[in-house]
Structure 1
Amino acid sequence: MKNNYLILAASLLLISCGNKQVKNSDNENAPIGGSDAAMGYTYSKVLDKKIRIFEEGVRLLSAVDPQATMAAFAVFPSDSSKVELFLPEETVVLEKRVRPDGTSVWNVEDDDTYMLEKCYDEWLVSRRGKVLYASTGCENIQQAEFVGDKGEKLSATFFTQAGVAQIQYDGVDYMLRQYITASGYGYKNSFVDIRGKGQELILTFLGDGKSIAFVEKNM
């Protein structure tokens, strides 16, 4: 009888250990809990696992607020076919696309979405033509204000390390890429072109060829 009790106790112990092992295995794929969050873990859709984004992701700083304390992070799978943007306000997954000129961009088929791209060594996150985050934040930015003969106003932000300019004219933001000029500077996209030299700048609308001359205001 005593031997029977020993056998029964051993069997119960093995079952208990087995259940504990299954439970621990389940916890590996369990939703993020309080202890995970306390250790800085979050769940990544593109990697399908718990990660600490500051270890796995590319850090991006605010390009609009030099006093901002919260960073964004871009997390890529091994094939870079997608990117998961962990922004302070939300998390989004974007698909990789290749432009006709061969450059890569991550977005979705919606003009209102975020867009991630790498310009030289600088990662930029933009939305509706406005740069929101950059690898170096506000560190490599130059800003200028221009006025036209009829009082037109144009503001420009030059991301010097990325070779990108962001202009705002008539309430619309445009993100432009730099191109080589014989003198001065030039930036354009599919809609507008700016050419500048010294304090003078010319904005040209590529659709109809209309041009407006501006002079830089003293800041």
Structure 2
Amino acid sequence: MSNVKLAIALVLVLWVANVNAQQKAPGSDRNKHGCIGSAGYTYSVVRNDCVRLFEEKIRLKEKTPKGSYTSDAVVIFDKSRQRAEIFLPGSNGSSILKKTKVKGTTVWKAGALVLATQGNGYTLKKSGKLIYVM
């Protein structure tokens, strides 16, 4: 075998070995809380557990979609309903809202976010603007 062919063969072998070394085993992408992202899990602060957002029951629809699709926000309450955890599309992590009274109405607030009950559903406002409804 010529030196050129030997060199090409050696480069290919090393490249294949490098690609195989970079591949992770399924389920090995656990975050610091032990949640496996590739299986659809993310960490919920109020539950102190891994959850799949697409399995959660309280989903709010975007009030004014910007594209040809509507995104959902997910709400998870703690057992006492004193805290609401909001997962917004495109956000890194979640926001924790605390239960309070505003003008005699129970709402959950954190900064500019306000979650309120409306009939059998919920509304989510940011800086006073309605952004999600259920």
The interval holding the TM-score normalised by the smaller chain is: 0.5 to 0.7
Percent sequence identity is 28
Equivalents in 1 of 2:44, 2:89: separation in Å? 15
| Number of residue equivalences | 101
Q: How does 1:172-183 map to 2 (within 5 A)?
A: none
1:125 to partner: Cα distance: 0.5
Partner secondary structure for residue 88 of structure 1: coil
1:87 to partner: Cα distance: 0.2
Partner secondary structure for residue 47 of structure 1: coil
**What is the aligned partner in structure 2 of residue 77 from structure 1?**
78
Partner secondary structure for residue 54 of structure 1: helix
Give unmatched runs, 5+ long, in structure 2.
1-29
Larger Rg: 1
Q: Tell me if structure 2 keeps the 8 A contact 1:62–1:68.
A: no
1:69 to partner: Cα distance: 3.7
1:100 to partner: Cα distance: 4.1
**What is the aligned partner in structure 2 of residue 43 from structure 1?**
43
Q: Tell me if structure 1 keeps the 8 A contact 2:114–2:125.
A: yes
Equivalents in 2 of 1:120, 1:75: separation in Å? 18
**What is the aligned partner in structure 1 of residue 107 from structure 2?**
105
Give unmatched runs, 5+ long, in structure 1.
1-26, 136-219
Partner letter of residue 73 of structure 1?
V
**What is the aligned partner in structure 1 of residue 65 from structure 2?**
65
Equivalents in 1 of 2:86, 2:131: separation in Å? 12
**What is the aligned partner in structure 1 of residue 19 from structure 2?**
none
Higher relative contact order (CA 8 A, sep 6+): 2
Partner secondary structure for residue 54 of structure 2: helix
Q: How does 1:17-56 map to 2 (within 5 A)?
A: 30-32=33-35, 36-56=36-56
Equivalents in 1 of 2:102, 2:124: separation in Å? 17
Partner secondary structure for residue 84 of structure 2: strand
Partner letter of residue 74 of structure 1?
V
Partner secondary structure for residue 73 of structure 1: strand
Partner letter of residue 40 of structure 1?
G
Task: Kindly provide the CA deviation profile for residues 21-76 of structure 1, in whole angstroms up to 9, marking residues without a partner as x.
Answer: xxxxxx8x8443xxx21221100011101011222341011001173343110000
**What is the aligned partner in structure 1 of residue 119 from structure 2?**
120
Q: Tell me if structure 1 keeps the 8 A contact 2:65–2:71.
A: no
Task: Kindly provide the CA deviation profile for residues 142-191 of structure 1, in whole angstroms up to 9, marking residues without a partner as x.
Answer: xxxxxxxxxxxxxxxxxxxxxxxxxxxxxxxxxxxxxxxxxxxxxxxxxx
What is the TM-score normalised by the length of structure 1?
A: 0.42
What is the TM-score normalised by the length of structure 2?
A: 0.67
User: Is 1:88 aligned with 2:89?
Assistant: yes
